[in-house]
Structure 1
Amino acid sequence: MDRLIQANGQPHYGIFPAAPGLVNYRDFDFRSPMGRKLGALAKWRRFHQFQYFGLISDELIGGCALANLSLLGVGFVYLFHPASGRMIERQFKLPLGFGSQFSQTPDQGVCELRSGGNLLRLENSAASKEKRLLVELDDGTHIEACFSEAEPAFQPMCINTQAGINGWVYAQKVAGVRCTGQVRSALGDFDLTQIGAFAHHDWSAGYMRPETHWNWACLSGQAGEQRVGLNLSCGVNESSFTENCFWLDGELLKVDTVRFDFDRDQPLQPWLINSYDGQVELRFEGRGLHKERLNVGLLASNFKQIFGQFSGVLRPTGRPEVRIDNLWGFVEDQYVKW
């Protein structure tokens, strides 16, 4: 599929075998809930896009995100050292996104944010099927990380769903891939290959509900002889299709709807995550979190990303069950008005 939006102005919907060449949102026939055609200004204001790169290992956990919220460019990065409990985190907010750029080609191009002596950069290459993260902070923190979907072959989750009466969300997810690169920081220096790091990646864009909420879970690691990745959500990307899935050695296996059971006031307490079809039965124990709050009238966000360990079982249909024993990963509790 060359373009997500068809010639008639309507999106392709469904789960796709590969990413569209271009998320051509400007060609979308955007209407008000009452059917009135909306122009270029409304298309710009309501289109939102974000990209996330996560690092997962027993020795180091990291996350970096960039978001284009039209009125605001947002970025964050953090590193967590499980052995010591120490953490480095930085947040950036750029009015109207000045100092940032975003590509609408999911498998190709650059998304980055520059603020003073700080750089957050995510670069995707269609030719090599690589996703790269570069972080340079004015405190000396330096992160270079990369994974490939080519060797061994990996099947990403590529999905587009309707969002409310007049929107849609394209999401592209990867988990359970090995990660290479280097990290230099006040927490220490790390070779990502030597510490057995895995990566998670999320590229999402579209006309999301003006007020929305979601929970999300992801894990990556080694379970016995298999590389395992997991991507589950509840509250978004669920109209007719869901993004819920896990990967065994890069093979995508679809999962039904899921339920997140947790205490919103105490997010570091255990979470229980179960799928309706019985393929997922997990318990998550939080070890730390990154959180942000924003409330400036037109924009509001109450965001918690918790990192910790999963235990439980995956039951792929017609295959032996896969035991999950203290694998590191993430969960989220997110409210947004935009």
Structure 2
Amino acid sequence: MNLDDVVDGQGALRFGRFPRRPATVDPLRRRSLVPSGLRRMRLKQWVGWTLVHPDWAGSMILQDAGYLASAELYVAERATGVRHEYQAGARRGTLRLPTDLFQARVPFRRGGFGLEYRFDRAGGAHKIVIDVAAHDDAPAVRGELTLDARAAAPDLAVSSRLPGGTLYTTKATYPVSGTLRVGDRDVVFDPARDAAILDEHRSALTYRTGWTWGTFAFHDTDDDGALCGANFAVRPGLPGQEEESGLWSPQACEPLSDVVFTPGGRRWTDAPGALAARDDLDHPWTVRSRDGRLDVVFTPDGLKTVGLSYGVVAMDYVQIFGRYSGTLTAGGRERKVDGAPGVLEEMKARW
């Protein structure tokens, strides 16, 4: 498949699984009878990271929802469950997520919230720069992380048709080094132990949308510390279309499908207010693919929730951070997953 552009020379969007992220990903360039302004409002774009560390959980996102832009960050100590959250908003059009992402800078600053991604695949390293001021009871978070692009697991890059829309996503996992200072504490990242997982989306989602998603990464000590992991999701789809799921090993990102999430306690969306139910932290989840190549149990450490409703726009969202244990089969061998840090989330939205 052509790696230069997700849109072909005739203006049609390419669908399928790419061996790596195309150099340019801009679904708005596709030929369409729908005015570009309306398509831009519908396109949901974000670039986020999940940080994999044995003692701390962390996640961040820069997002362009079409009608507004936003940035979020949280860090949490696993042992205590204490979580610090930071966020900032901006007007529509003020956040630019470059279509040639892997050779671009993505800066965001509003007030005391500063976050910048510096991508340089050709140079072999990406950087995340965080400069977020303290607020209320949350300490300042500052530091720089370096992601080793030369030692990264192969990309998961998928373009698919959805019922009433389209999806494009890139997932990738990198060894990470550097230090984040959280208040007066240093969180040191070791590239032989820790990782950062990329989540890029450029998707034309329907007004009512939702998904269940999870990811984790680990260095396989039985395979010379090879960086391995998994990304898995369930959302409404169409027959024959690629899913945004895969298994990482040094050899490849192998396609994965038919993933089943089984919550151990009450489902988040069973009733209003269930998103923040303490029961959700007291019961492990199981996540399995029907072919058995992914078979893990997810044990929660803590969670972040977002619940909002502004007329036609609403969101029920929860991301649980925790640990995965079990097995995955990738790179020609079954691999033991032993407490690998990761996340599991569910989203239901009108946007």
* Pairwise same-fold verdict (TM > 0.5): yes
1:4 paired residue number: 6
Q: Is the Cα contact below 8 Å between 1:87 and 1:187 reproduced in 2?
A: no
Give runs of aligned pairs for residues 241-252 of structure 1, distance below 5 A: 241-249=242-250, 251-252=252-253
Q: Distance in 1 between matches of 2:218 and 2:288?
A: 19
Matched residue of 1:125: which SS?
coil
Deviation readout 1:215-240 (Å, 9 max, x if unpaired): 11111112332432111111067661
Task: Say which of 319, 322, 325 aligns to 1:308.
Answer: 322
Q: Percent identity?
A: 21
Find the residue that maps to 1:101 and give its secondary structure.
coil
Structure 2 partner of 1:70: 66
Cα-to-partner distance string for 1:89-142 (whole Å, 9 max, x where unaligned): 1122324254x3321223221233321121122222231243321111122310
SS at match of 1:136: strand
How many residues were matched structurally?
A: 327
Aligned to 1:285: 299
Q: Which runs of 5+ in 1 are unaligned?
A: 31-36
> Distance between the aligned counterparts of 2:316 and 2:27, measured in 1?
27
After superposition, the Cα gap between the structure-2 partners of 1:293 and 1:74, relative to the gap in structure 1 and judged at 3 Å, is farther
Q: Residue 335 of structure 1 corresponds to which residue in structure 2?
A: 348
* Aligned alpha-carbon RMSD (Å): 2.1
Deviation for aligned residue 1:189:
0.7
Structure 2 stretches lacking a partner, 5+ long = 135-139, 269-273
- TM score, norm. by length of structure 1: 0.89
1:330/1:238 CA distance change after superposition, 3 Å:
farther
Runs of 4+ residues deviating >6 angstroms: none
Partner SS for 2:37: helix
The aligned amino acid for 2:252 is: E
User: Structure 2 counterpart of 1:229, which letter?
Assistant: G
Higher helix share: 2
Does the residue aligned with 2:102 lie in a helix, a strand or coil? coil
- 2:166 is aligned, of 156, 165, 168, to 168
Shift of residue 146 of structure 1? 2.2
For residues 119 and 328 of structure 1, do their structure 2 counterparts lie closer, same or farther at Cα, with a shift above 3 Å needed?
same
Aligned residue in 2 for 1:127: 122
Q: Is the 8 A contact 1:253 1:316 kept in 2?
A: yes
CA contact (8 A) 1:59 1:195 kept: no
Match of 1:159 in 2: 158
Residue 137 of structure 2: aligned partner: none
Q: Kindly provide the amino acid, as one letter, of the partner of residue 335 in structure 1.
A: K
Residue aligned with 1:267, SS: helix
Per mean C-alpha deviation after superposition, the further-off stretch among 287-296 and 275-284 is: 287-296
State the Cα distance separating 1:306 from its structure 2 match: 0.7
* Alpha-carbon spacing, 1:79–1:70, altered in 2? closer, same or farther (3 Å): same
Q: 1:29 to 1:337 in 2, by over 3 A?
A: farther
Q: Distance in 2 between matches of 1:114 and 1:200?
A: 22
1:207 and 1:236, CA in 2 relative to 1: closer, same or farther beyond 3 A? same
Helix, strand or coil at the partner of 1:315: strand
Q: Secondary structure at the match of 2:41?
A: helix
Q: What residue number does 1:212 align with? A: 209
What is the aligned partner in structure 2 of residue 92 from structure 1?
A: 88
CA distance, structure 1, for counterparts of residue 234 and residue 40 of structure 2: 27
Structure 2 partner of 1:25:
27
**Normalising to structure 2: TM-score of the pair?**
0.86
